[in-house]
Amino acid sequence: MQTVIHVQSLNKSFGGKQALFNLGLTVDAGEMVALIGPSGSGKSTLLRHLSGLACGDRGLSRSRRPATSDAGQAGAVHILNRCVQSSGRLDPDVRRLRASIGYIFQQFNLVGRMSVLNNVLMGRLGRLPRWRGTLGLFTAEDRELAMASLERVGLADRAWQRASTLSGGQQQRVAIARALTQQAELILADEPIASLDPESARKVMDILRDINETDGKTVVVTLHQVDYAARYCGRVIALKSGRIHFDGAVDALTGPFLNELYGGDLDASL
């Protein structure tokens, strides 16, 4: 089994306040993993480290990249057999890796005034030679792939609409189509359904599961609603105060377990 994510002794602090403590975890190709835990437990911070977004350069030009080491972090992160971070030093060239990682945000991160199709085509940018990407010179194959991805999430008929005219659930499906068009090997989704009504949330989770089961893509998804973790993911990693509280099969999500994990946070319940 191919290892997609390998994290060793990951520590992260922000201005002296430690957010992640000595995390270690491995995720194999084809797994669908839920990352759960109370607000502030470190889920988003961990996910950013898995994506290379913690580097902070957001894929911009070399001259705009920050220093390649950060005193606030230590440990090693390997994604898709590429070293993102070792002994706290960040790999300065994560652009190629990022092209293989689809990142889904709670707030969708679409360009509202652009068409749905053009948003989905953005998924190709990391795959094009840089000069072609900068000029937006997509090929007929890029467009076919984008349309097929929209078809897959049930929004092909919306291709020419402005993204901002779509509902939240539809926008999230467009974001997933963008990751499909990117042909990402690993999908990281940070609270993808937190802003959605139950019906839209279910559609989004159904699509993520389909990508996992049909295409064999690895999916790591942070979820506030624990019932979705139980329904959709085989494995759950629970963070509490920046530490791994539990890592194992989803049947562990019993009432007493959740009480202990969430304490008084009544929002999160089965």
The packing angle between helices 168-181 and 198-215, to 10°, is: 10
Our finding on whether 45 is near ligand ADP (CB under 6 A) is yes
Minimal distance, residue 42 CB to ligand ADP, in Å: 4
**Nearer residue to ligand ADP within complex by CB, 34 or 117:** 34
**Contacts (CB under 6 A) with ligand ADP, residues 178-197:** none
Beta bridge partners of 7: 25, 77
Minimal distance, residue 53 CB to ligand ADP, in Å: 11
Number of residues that bind Mg ion (CB under 5 A): 2
Q: Which stretch binds ligand ADP (CB under 6 A): 36-44, 52-60, 73-81, 145-153?
A: 36-44
Q: What is the DSSP string of the chain?
A: --EEEEEEEEEEEETTEEEEEEEEEEEETT-EEEEE-STTSSHHHHHHHHHTGGG--TT--GGG---SB-TTEEEEEEETTEEEEETTEEPS--HHHHTTEEEE-TT----TTSBHHHHHHGGGGGGS-HHHHHTT---HHHHHHHHHHHHHTT-GGGTTSBGGGS-HHHHHHHHHHHHHHTT-SEEEEESTTTTS-HHHHHHHHHHHHHHHHHH--EEEEE-S-HHHHHHH-SEEEEEETTEEEEEEEGGG--HHHHHHHHTT-TTS--
Q: Which stretch binds ligand ADP (CB under 6 A): 39-47, 61-69, 203-211, 243-251?
A: 39-47
Minimal distance, residue 19 CB to ligand ADP, in Å: 3
Binding letters toward ligand ADP, positions 1-20, x by CB under 6 A: -------------x----x-
Q: What's the token pair of residue 109?
A: 């991160």
Minimal distance, residue 156 CB to ligand ADP, in Å: 33
Minimal distance, residue 238 CB to ligand ADP, in Å: 11
**Contacts (CB under 5 A) with Mg ion, residues 62-81:** none
Whole-number Cα distances in Å, 204 to 19, 22, 44, 193, 212: 29, 32, 19, 7, 12
Minimal distance, residue 248 CB to ligand ADP, in Å: 19
**Contacts (CB under 5 A) with Mg ion, residues 2-61:** 43-44
- Which of 41, 119, 181, 225: binder of ligand ADP (CB under 6 A)? 41
- Which of 5, 6, 7, 43: binder of ligand ADP (CB under 6 A)? 43
**Nearer residue to ligand ADP within complex by CB, 75 or 123:** 75
Instruction: Give the one entry of ligand ADP, Mg ion, none that residue 19 binds, where binding means its C-beta sits below a cut-off of 5 to 8 angstroms depending on kind.
Output: ligand ADP
Residue 124 in contact with residue 182, Cβ under 8 Å? yes
- Which of 9, 24, 40, 259: binder of ligand ADP (CB under 6 A)? 40
Which residues of the chain form contacts with ligand ADP (CB under 6 A)?
14, 19, 37, 39-45
Which residues of the chain form contacts with Mg ion (CB under 5 A)?
43-44
